Amino acid sequence: MTKVKLEYIWLDGCKPEPHLRSKTKILDATEFAGELEKAPMWSFDGSSTQQAEGHTSDCLLKPVSIYPDSGRKNAWLVMCEVLNPDGTPHITNTRALINDPDNYWFGYEQEYTLVKEGRPLGFPQNGYPAPQGMYYCSVGDDYIEGRHIVEEHLDLCLDAGLNITGINAEVMLGQWEFQCFGKGAKQAADDTWIARYLLYRIAEKYDVHVEFAPKPVKGDWNGSGMHANFSNKKMREDGSENYFLAICEALKKKHNEHIEVYGSNNHERLTGLHETQHISTFSYGVSDRGASIRIPIPTVESGYKSGYLEDRRPASNADPYKVAAKLTSTIIEAGL
């Protein structure tokens, strides 16, 4: 009888950021053909993931999204929420924090750096490569490292049905980005976490480390972010300049609260240099990549009747669930 593999994936209790954990459940193919509702609840030892004490260690896994996994034979990827034994959301379940998930659309620009033997790919054993300038969106072995990993990752993501909308080489050598979009705050974050999982798994084959630190190389090198593009129905269909600016002002009032959940060591990246605003300052502006919030040109050209905003503050290691939860709650609490 044919068997299928279900890889149950969840976020652990590690701090300051959670790490991905996973384990495989085997089912008969006659019982399962990719239906989310047929993926059974499961459990794990929370005492081994910093999510429970040893004397009461069971945590539950609730499947919330499912994807085909072309990297394994007869396999599926199952994103899960972590629940307490009584079925309530576990304290580490940041997905459960998201408000109004269907009204909001998100697009994450996930930057990361491929590292081997402690150095970004392409960096010499001693010293540094040529300064930044020719690496961004470039081509050729003088300027690009790791493309084989990036292309393999893209294919696996597309095979899985993730809404990856693009990839590009970034400003620092060995640094890359993928963009992930979702019509729904939870779905966009689910897809981004699964894309991270697949990236980690592919990198294992090449003995390469995927680095999400916001400042992987100190000095005059770009950091790594996870810019969050977002909109709600009013922004997309019948907004106004005053409405968009009111959102920016609401975000300004909660700036410190946002920074608290936008990734650890983000102060190393948000210095006011390398297309960032300083971490202690909040600003917004049209087409301004040095601002906290960028108002895109298409939003302005539509007369603010159809558009989105880009929050450039989240670090590359930020939890997209937390980012979505904070952005939606700030806007909702402001009555917008």
Assign residue 13 the CATH number of its domain.
Answer: 3.10.20.70
Average of pLDDT values for 176-204? 97
Residues 258 and 192: their CA atoms lie apart, in Å, by 19
Q: Where a domain ends, among 73, 95, 117?
A: 95
Predicted confidence band at 101 (pLDDT cuts at 50, 70, 90)?
A: confident
- Give 21's strand partners: 10
CATH number of the domain within which 209 lies: 3.30.590.10
Residue 266 shares a structural domain with residue 201: yes
Q: Are residues 40 and 153 located together in one domain of the fold?
A: no
> Are 277 and 146 members of one domain?
yes
Claim: this prediction has a pTM higher than 0.85: yes
Number of domains forming the structure of the chain: 2
Confidence category of residue 251, pLDDT binned at 50, 70, 90: very high
The answer to whether residues 301 and 152 belong to one domain is: yes
Domain match, 52 and 176 both: no
**pLDDT score, position 153:** 98
Q: Is residue 74 part of a domain?
A: yes
Q: Is residue 100 part of a domain?
A: no
Question: Is 307 found in the same domain as 168?
Answer: yes
Residue 37 sits in the same domain as residue 145: no
Q: Is pLDDT of 182 > 90?
A: yes
Which of 49, 76, 95 is at the close of a domain?
Answer: 95
Same domain? 82 vs 160: no
Do both 180 and 250 map to the same domain?
Answer: yes
Residue 260 in domain:
yes
pLDDT attached to residue 55:
78
Give residue 287's region: left, alpha or beta (phi > 0; psi -120 to 50).
Answer: left
- What is the mean pLDDT of the segment spanning 48-72? 94
Query: Mean of the per-residue pLDDT values for the chain?
Result: 96
**Do residues 226 and 111 lie in contact, with contact meaning Cβ atoms separated by under 8 Å?**
yes
CB 203 within 8 A of CB 116: no
Return phi, psi of residue 176, to 5°: -135, 170
Q: How confident is the model at residue 157 (pLDDT cuts 50, 70, 90)?
A: very high
Give the C-alpha separation, 3 to 27, whole Å.
Answer: 6
**Separation CA 284–CA 302 (nearest Å):** 18
Kindly indicate the confidence band of residue 278, based on its pLDDT and cuts at 50, 70 and 90: very high
Looking at the structure, do residues 21 and 114 belong to the same domain, yes or no? no
Return the pLDDT at 318. 98
Q: What is the pLDDT of residue 56?
A: 81
For residue 52, what are the domain limits? 3-95
